[in-house]
Amino acid sequence: MRTRGNGSLAKFLMVGAAAGAAAFVPAWAQQVETVVVTAERHAENQQDVPLSVATLDNEQIDAIFESGQDIKALAAHIPDLYAESSNGRVAPRFYIRGLGNTDFDLAASQPVSIIMDDVVMENTVLKSAPIYDQADVEVSRGPQGTLFGRNTTAGVIKFTSKKPAQEMDGFLTGSYGELGTANLEGAFGTGLTDTISMRVSGEWVHRDNYINNAFTGRNDALGGYDEEAARLQLLWQPSDNFSALVNLHGWSLNGTAAIFRANIIGPGNNHLNGNYIWNKVFFDGGFDTPNGPNNPQKYDTLGATAVLAYDFGNMKLTSITGYDTTHGKSRGDIDGGNPGGPGFIPFQSDTQDGLDYLHQFTQELHLASDTDNPLFWQVGAFYFDTKYEDATYPFFVGPTFVRQSNTSWAVFGQASYKLTDALTLTGGVRWTDDVKGMTANGPLIAPIATPVKLTGDNISWDVSAAYALSADVNLYARVATGFRAPSIQGRNLAFGSPYSTARSETITSYEAGIKTELMNRQIRLNVDGFTYYLAHPQFSAIGGAGNSVILKNARAGLAYGLEADGEWAASDHLLLTGGASWTHTEIRDANLTTAICAQCTVTNPLDIFGNARLNGNPFPQAPDYMFTLTARYGIPLANGGEIFAYTDWWWQGYTNFFLYKSLEFHSNGNYEGGLRVGYDFPNKAYEIAAYARNITDRANLQGGIDFNNNTGFVSDPRIIGIEFTAHMH
C-alpha cells in the first residue's frame, strides 16, 4: 500500500546527489550565460533593466512540467511568484509580491497579467493555456502600468513560444510515469521558401483516474485528465524591413476538476488529519450522470494572433492583433463528502460553473526607435474588448446566466536617455479608460436587463534610474504606479443574493536594487527591496458561514519586502541557481470586516455581528517567504555524451487562505522537490532520463472551503517516471 510523506527515498537521492557533486569540482569554471529579456518591450541584458525581472530557462521549464503539470506549477519556482486554484487545471490565480485575487469566479479580474506571445490573456480560463515549446518565461515583479497589455498592479508573467526559422529544427519528447501519467510533446520547424518559414508544435498530456470513491464503491473514479494543445506559426519575411507572423493555437481539456476533501484540516490546527486519504474520497455529488464521472471538467479554446512589423531604419512599427475564444464547464462535490461524513457536514453542496461562450479581441500598435542612440523612445495604443456568459448551476434550482462585457482603451509612451556612459534615466506614462457591463437572469432573481455599468480611467506612470557602478555592478531605483479597473461580481445571483461591485484599485511602488556579476562572471546575484501602497485595494470575501462571494474595497494596503535571484557556475560541470523572497503584506482599514467560518477557530477580534475585523491582516494567499534552489551536475564522456543530474526545490512560508485568520485555514512550511538523472547522447541527438516530481511525496495543503466544514485541497502525489527525447538539427 502506498503511503504519504515517506521521505526516505528523497533523502537517499539528495545525499547521493550532494556527495556526487562534491566528489569532483574542477578548478576551472565557466561563466554564467547572458540573459536577454524584453521587460521594457525591447531586447536588453537582464542586468541593465531597471526593475526586478526573473526568468526560467528551458531546463527548468521542462523539469517543472515533466509530469503533466498545468501552469500553476510555476508557483514558487521564482521568488515572490505564487499560484493556486480551486478550479483544477483551469482558472489559475497568480500572485506577485503578495498581490493577487482569491476570487474563484470565472469573471474575476486579476492584478497579475499573463502575456502569451505578445497578447494579454485576461480571463482566468484563457490564463490556463498549456505551456509547451517555449523560448522563455519572464516574470516582471511590481506594477507594469505603462507598457504591457492591460494596466496591472502586481506584475506580468510573459510566455514566448519558439519562433519559426529557416533552419530545420525539431524535437519529440515522450514520458511515462506513475498513475498512468503520460506526456508527448513535439515541434518541427523549417523554411518553406526563401521568405516563408513555419513551426508546428503540440502536446498531449494524460493521467489515469487514480482516486476511489468509497461512497459509491467506484474505483478509479476521478483524478485523471486528457489535455491536447497545438500551435501553428507561419513567418513571412519578404524583405529585410518587413515581417508577418501568424500564430494559430488551441487546446482542449477533459478531466477532473478540483478535488475537495471534507474535514481534512485540524480542528484547532492546519495539519492534515485521518480523514485525508490520498487516493480515496467519499462523494455523493458532482456526477454528470448517475454513473458518470466525479467532478468532471471540460474546456475547449481556440485563438489566433497576427504580428506585423515594419522597420523604417530609425524606427519600427509593430501591429499585434489577437483573438481568443473558449467555452466549457466544471462540476464538483463542493462539500467534499456525503451526509455521513467524513466528519460533520451541515449540508450538501454540488455546483457547476462554466463559460457558455467567451470572445476576446485585442489590437495594439507600437512604434519604437532604434536602440543605437542615447535616446530610446516608444509609443503605442491598445484596444481590448471581451464578451462572455458564465453560468452557475447550484442544482437545487436551475442555472443563472450572467453576461458581462469589458472594453478598454489605452495610449502609452516611454523614453530612456543615456546621460553618461554610466547613468540612464527612463520615464513612461499611460492613460487607460475601462468600461464594464453586466446583465443576468436566473430562477432566484428578477432579470437584470438594463446593464450594470462601471467605468474607470487612470493615468499611470513610472520613472527609473540605472547606474553602472562598474562593468559588473549595476544599481537601479524605480517608482511606478498601476491601476486595476472597477469590478463586478455576479456569482451570488445564482443563490438569490445581490451582486457586488468594487471601485478602482491603484498602487504606488518604490523599488531599488543591485545587479551584479562576480568572480569573472561565475556568479550572478541580483538583490532588491521594495515597498508599495495600495489605495482602495479590491479584495474578495470568499465563503464564510453565509457562503457568498462579495467584492470589498479596503481603505488601503501596504507591503514591503526583499528579493534575491542568484546563479553560480561553480565549475564546467556544476551549475547552481537559487532565490529568496521575504514579503510583508498588511490590510489597512479599521472598519473592514468579513463573515467567518462557523466551524473553524478564528483568531481575529469580532464585531458585534460576529464578523472578523481585518485591520492588520496579511493579504490572502500571500506567502511571507519563499526559497528556490536548483543544481545541475554533468559528467562529460569521451564519446561526446554526458551523464547528468538535475534537482529543483522550493519552500514556502506562512500563507493565509482567507481575509480572516484562523488556526485551520493557512499553510506554513510547504515544500516540494524534483530530480532528473539521465544521459545525453553525443551531439545532443537523444536524451534519456528518469525523473521524480514531488520526490518526498509530500501532501501540501493549498487551500480550503470554509462555508460548510473544514474542507481542503492538496497538491498532487509523487510521480516517478522515465522520459526520452529526440532532437532534430
Residue of 138, 141, 139, 164 whose CA lies nearest to 153: 141
Confidence of residue 149 (pLDDT cuts 50, 70, 90): low
Res. 433: pLDDT tops 70: yes
What would the mean pLDDT of 556-582 be, rounded to a whole number? 97
pLDDT score recorded for residue 372: 86
Res. 545: pLDDT tops 90: no
If one compares 122 and 729, the residue with the highest pLDDT of the two is 122
Confidence of residue 7 (pLDDT cuts 50, 70, 90): very low
Res. 190: pLDDT tops 80: yes
Res. 2: pLDDT tops 50: no
Q: Collapse the DSSP code of 46 into the 3-class scheme (helix H, G, I; strand E, B; otherwise coil) and give the result.
A: helix
State the average pLDDT for the chain. 93
CA distance 48 to 50: 6
What would the mean pLDDT of 437-448 be, rounded to a whole number? 97
Confidence of residue 289 (pLDDT cuts 50, 70, 90): confident
pLDDT score recorded for residue 18: 39
Res. 59: pLDDT tops 60: yes
Structure letter (DSSP) for residue 683: G
Res. 325: pLDDT tops 90: yes
What would the mean pLDDT of 517-528 be, rounded to a whole number? 96
pTM for this entry: 0.94
Bridge partners for 320 per DSSP: 307, 364
Of 142-151, 257-266, 293-302, 633-642, the one with minimum mean pLDDT is 142-151
pLDDT score recorded for residue 158: 95
Of 35-44, 111-120, 550-559, the one with minimum mean pLDDT is 35-44
Which amino acid type is present at position 242? Answer: F
φ/ψ of 683, rounded to 5, equals 60, 15
Res. 6: pLDDT tops 50: no
Domains of the chain: 8-728 (2.40.170.20)
Instruction: Tally Cβ neighbours within 10 Å of residue 453.
Output: 12
Res. 66: pLDDT tops 50: yes
Confidence of residue 12 (pLDDT cuts 50, 70, 90): very low
Of 109-118, 546-555, 676-685, the one with minimum mean pLDDT is 546-555
Q: Tell me if 81 sits within 8 A of 462, measured CB to CB.
A: no
Res. 27: pLDDT tops 60: no
pLDDT score recorded for residue 502: 96
Res. 25: pLDDT tops 60: no
What would the mean pLDDT of 75-99 be, rounded to a whole number? 95
Res. 485: pLDDT tops 70: yes
CA dist 680 → 17, 158, 644 (Å):
18, 30, 8
pLDDT score recorded for residue 371: 86
Q: How would DSSP label each residue in 244-304? A: EEEEEEEEEEEEE----BTT-B-SSSS-B-TT-BTTEE--S--BSSTTS-BSEEEEEEEEE
pLDDT score recorded for residue 5: 43
pLDDT score recorded for residue 29: 55
pLDDT score recorded for residue 21: 38
pLDDT score recorded for residue 30: 84
